[in-house]
Structure 1
Amino acid sequence: MVLAPLQVTTDALNYTWILVVSFLIFFMHAGFAMLEAGQVRSKNVANQLTKNLLTWSVGVTVFFGIGSGIASLAGGGGFSAAFMTSGTGWIDWLYGAVFAMTAATIVSGAVAGRAKLRAYMTYTFLLAAVIYPVVIAMTWSSTGPGLVEVITGTAFTDFAGGMIVHGMGGIAGLTAAAILGPRMGRFNEDGSANVIPGHSMTFAVLGTLILAFGWYGFNVGTSAIIGDAFLGEQLGRVAMTTTISMAMGAIGAAAVAWLKTGKVDTLYVANGLLAGLVGITAIPHTTAWWGAFVVGVLSGAQLPIVFNFVERTLNIDDVCAVFPVHGSAGVLGTLLYPFVAAGSVAIVPAFIAQLVGVVIIGGWTITATAAIWFVLKSVGQARVTPEHEQEGLDVSEHGVETYPEFGSDGVVADGGNVSEMIRSDGGSKDE
């Protein structure tokens, strides 16, 4: 069958656009790398950067060979991995892969500073192969109604991965961090917390803005498809709600931080901006303009509150605040769907479907993640030794120093000497 010229042109434009969006979402890994590197100690920066590089490299190949097939199988079809297709099917695979790798890389920020590289990469392999594919099979299934719709009779609404990608990643990160245990010195015997500041606020804010830029690929890119279903109103709504919620997330977090301490914490503002984006990601296509303000400010406002609860009540060391940024914000935005929708929505059935979806995704993610990290911990492969943690993972895991001029040798490659006996993370060097 020969396609009409107009259809050929439409398909060409659509698939070119999907590739551009995929590249934009891929660039978010630069944002994650900078955001996480800025929030860890200088002695762990290379380790965090390596995790981000390998998350993409290992995860995307595993999703190609295994994960895409598991998603098809779990969704009720046969095993159909990406290597079994060709042409535009590989474009579809890449579009799915960048979403999958976003979920995977979120976890690295929660376990920073003490997880063995081999443990983290084992989890990344299994997340890309099984955990995330099962989540999308239950929700974004292409072979029939998702599990939520089968159970409730109402489809689960998640436009661009607010719960499926970000909520899942945040919950996985919190689970892994809880099992792994806190960094040395993070908590006192009485349960009180000590602040371990990151080494670069500049990196953290730069990473935030890169992520915010890439987020337009997540939300607006998902909507900008030409065809019978193309709606200019929806495209404009997605662009508007994404931007407003992002802005209100920063404002909400800043306001709560100021009310709590009398100070506007820069990192809360940055993470609040991201929480606003996470909150709207499930529902940017249906939310009213005023709803974007509500979703954004609530997503940002919950950030300091939830982070304080995780830190002081649960005593979980979530280094980069991945649960309040991605987990709880993703859950909140998903559940707000029927209450902030611009059109007429049957509130009770819609809310029940959203709640069931959150419970299913959260329950599966916690169970699978806990099982993997418990096994790794039980065989002594989850965490570095106390000596290596104190020394820093850059040296113990990679044999490098991110800032060699502050290293222990006292000399640099050009023959110059380091005169001050201090490390860039505030620690002292051995004589």
Structure 2
Amino acid sequence: MVGEFLVPLQLSDAEIQAMVEGINLLWVLVVTFLIFFMHAGFAMLEAGQVRSKNVANQLTKNLLTWSVGVTMFFLIGAGVSSMVGSITGGGGEYSLVGALTAGSAGWVSWLFGAVFAMTAATIVSGAVAGRAKLRAYMTYTILLAAVIYPVVTGLTWAGGFLASVAGVGFHDFAGGMIVHGMGGVAGLTAAWMLGPRLERYNADGSANVIPGHSITFAVLGTLVLAFGWYGFNVGTAASVLTITDAGVVELGAFSYVGRVAMATTLAMAMGAIGASAMSLLQTGKVDTLYVANGLLAGLVGITAFPDTATWWGAMVVGLLAGGQLPIVFGFVEKRLKIDDVCAVFPVHGSAGMLGALAYPFLSVGAISTSAIVAQVAGVALITGWTVVATATVFGVLKALGQMRVTPEHEREGLDISEHGVETYPEFSDGDEMTVPDSSVSTDGGFVPEGQPSSELRSDGGRVLGGEEK
């Protein structure tokens, strides 16, 4: 009886084509929505790592990054990417308005590219937290979505120069360098141009720790991002089915989707382990934020090549990406004196570079000299373009006096000065207490009896004996 239901369907070629296209489009849309949900993760991660008086500002930037950025990518960015790919890839047709007239399937493809573009854009917001003017950040976001990021994708995924460099092309499966590395480099450059937050460094050059207001938010954001990353990596295996020249329906990119899922998971786990081990080695303690950010660094590290990674290669790159996090963060903080608030460079920048450069050594198959050359060329060109473009934009904003808020507004908090709101109005008013009961601290807790209320900080921390705790 069951056999009666297993009689093959007699489908025409057009029906088979429609079925395959429908399944593939459904898969791409589902993973696109999953990647979009990563913005909730970025919002929580970044909000948790800033002071309570800057939370609304950080959340506003996340909302506007998507809203403004995706509009610019639709109107301008997608066309710029196509143009750069065509011009630098040897010529051919391109359309600056292709996204506007793409049609149903084309718009699905555009949206899939747009969520990647907005991921690169939102990374920058965490680096410049606490002192950048909203108008400056949004100006940069507009230019990143319209020009800076599209040039990178034009050189690579759109068939430009790097797609065939050294005869093999720059390999970046899901954007380890193209998206995350680029975003991390942009964030570091922007933070350098802005300068550190007030009181971040002492006169002798030593660094002060300015803790974020909620580890809970930061860890929640980390786990939301990790969940969305399966859409980022596994979703890039975008063709579930394909039709051969002989008219046979076969698995498309899903023929290796298991490798992508395995590599992503192992690298994620080893990233957290690597950061934990390095934190323990450096300080004798396991820092919670290092563990969280190390998990993300492991994901960034594998994103360039989960389609070809060996199981042990995924573990190695995850361990290295997580382990480098405390080292690179310390170098940026203490040697370069750059105030990268949410550690976007060690999480996204250096981890993305590491993964792209590790591809020839940790993938299936023999090591190729051509692949090494291609990966080095890709990392160097993307880094150089991002640094020059970002420094130029913020340099112009600085010359116009529109880059950074005033010291008074920074002390007051960007929630009030930029938005006229308070994230926790029942506890604080910028740097001043608004709650008459001096026993209530600004983080919602209580002050031990006998501790003066003047020792409270508006970011939820306390000052004890002249030291921030």
> Which TM bucket (shorter chain)?
over 0.9
- Pick closer, same or farther for the CA change 1:299–1:389 going to 2, 3 Å: same
Equivalent residue for 1:193, pick from 188, 204, 207: 207
Is 1:66 aligned to residue 76 of structure 2?
yes
After superposition, the Cα gap between the structure-2 partners of 1:62 and 1:178, relative to the gap in structure 1 and judged at 3 Å, is: same
For residues 149 and 403 of structure 1, what CA distance do their matches in structure 2 show? 49
User: Is contact 2:237–2:254 with CA below 8 Å preserved after alignment?
Assistant: no
Alignment pair present for 1:339 and 2:361: yes
1:171 paired to 2:171: no
Distance 1:87 1:298 in 2: 42
Aligned mates of 1:113, 1:420 — CA distance in 2: 27
Moved more, 2-11 or 41-50: 2-11
Cα deviation, residue 113, structure 1? 0.2
Query: What secondary structure is seen at the aligned counterpart in 2 of 1:298?
Result: helix
Q: 2:396 aligns with which of 375, 379, 385?
A: 375
Match of 2:100 among 68, 83, 106: 83
What amino acid sits opposite 1:89 in the alignment? G
- Matches of 1:410 and 1:146, distance apart in 2: 56
1:298 pairs with 320, 326, 329, which one? 320
- Distance apart, 1:154 and its partner CA: 1.9
Give the aligned partner of residue 358 of structure 1: 379
- Separation in 2, partners of 1:39, 1:411: 23
How much does 1:420 deviate?
4.1
1:249 offset after TM fit, Å? 0.1
Instruction: Tell me the residue number matched to 1:424.
Output: 443
TM-superposed CA distance for 1:387, in Å, is: 0.2
Per-residue deviation, 1:78: 3.3
Secondary structure, counterpart of 1:389 in structure 2 = helix
Give the aligned residue type for 2:57: N
What secondary structure does 1:336 align onto?
A: helix
Q: After superposition, give the CA deviation of every residue in 1:137-179 in whole Å (9 maximum; x if it has no partner).
A: 00001xxx43124542221100000000000000000000000
Q: Does 1:155 align with 2:169?
A: yes
Aligned to 1:130: 147
**1:190, CA displacement in angstroms?**
1.6
Deviation string, structure 1 residues 74-129 (Cα, Å, up to 9, x no partner):
11223234113221111111000000000000000000000000000000000000
Contact 1:66–1:81 (8 Å) recurs in 2: no
Secondary structure in 2 aligned to 1:87?
Answer: helix
Instruction: Map 1:106-117 onto structure 2 (within 5 A).
Output: 106-117=123-134
Aligned 8 A contact 2:163 2:170 in 1: yes
> Aligned AA for 2:72?
V
- Indicate if the aligned counterparts of 1:67 and 1:81 stay in contact, CA closer than 8 A: no
Residue segments in structure 2 that go unaligned for 5+ positions in a row: 1-11, 87-93, 243-250, 445-455, 460-469
Task: Quickly say closer, same or farther: Cα 1:270–1:333, change in 2 above 3 A.
Answer: same
Cα-to-partner distance string for 1:38-79 (whole Å, 9 max, x where unaligned): 000000000000000000000001101111111111112232
User: 1:311 maps to which residue?
Assistant: 333
2: distance between equivalents of 1:333 and 1:68? 26
Aligned partner of 1:41 in structure 2 is 51
CA distance in 2, matches of 1:17, 1:232: 11
Q: Residue 5 of structure 1: CA displacement? A: 1.3
Q: In angstroms, what is the RMSD of aligned CA positions?
A: 1.7
Query: Is residue 240 of structure 1 aligned with residue 265 of structure 2?
Result: no
Describe the shift of the 1:37–1:343 C-alpha distance in structure 2 as closer, same or farther (beyond 3 A).
same
Name the CA distance, whole Å, in 2 between partners of 1:314 and 1:40: 21
Contact persistence 2:23–2:241 (CA under 8 A): no
Matched, 1:214 2:196: no
2:345 aligned with 1:326, yes or no?
no
- SS of the residue corresponding to residue 240 of structure 2 reads coil
- Residues of 2 paired with 1:424 and 1:81: CA distance? 50
* CA 267–411 in structure 1, closer or farther in 2 if over 3 Å, else same: closer
Partner of 1:178: helix, strand, or coil? Answer: helix
Distance in 2 (CA, whole Å) between partners of 1:3 and 1:80 is: 32
> 1:7: how far off?
1.5
Structure 1 counterpart of 2:236, which letter?
T
Instruction: Report the CA distance between 1:428 and its aligned residue.
Output: 6.3
Describe the shift of the 1:150–1:7 C-alpha distance in structure 2 as closer, same or farther (beyond 3 A): closer
Q: What are the Cα deviations for residues 397-422 of structure 1, in whole angstroms up to 9, with x where unaligned?
A: 0000000101349778xxxx655475
Structure 1 residue ranges (4+ consecutive) displaced by more than 3 angstroms after TM superposition: 408-412, 417-426
Task: Tell me if structure 1 keeps the 8 A contact 2:241–2:254.
Answer: no
**How far apart, in 2, do the equivalents of 1:34 and 1:234 lie?**
33
Question: CA contact under 8 A between 1:32 and 1:207: conserved in structure 2?
Answer: yes
* Contact 1:279–1:299 (Cα < 8 Å) also in 2: yes
Q: Which whole-Å CA distance do the structure 2 matches of 1:421 and 1:247 have between them?
A: 39
Equivalent position to 1:397, from 418, 428, 431? 418
Structure 1 gaps, min length 5: none
**Residue of structure 1 equivalent to 2:5:** none
In 2, Cα distance between equivalents of 1:372 and 1:7: 47
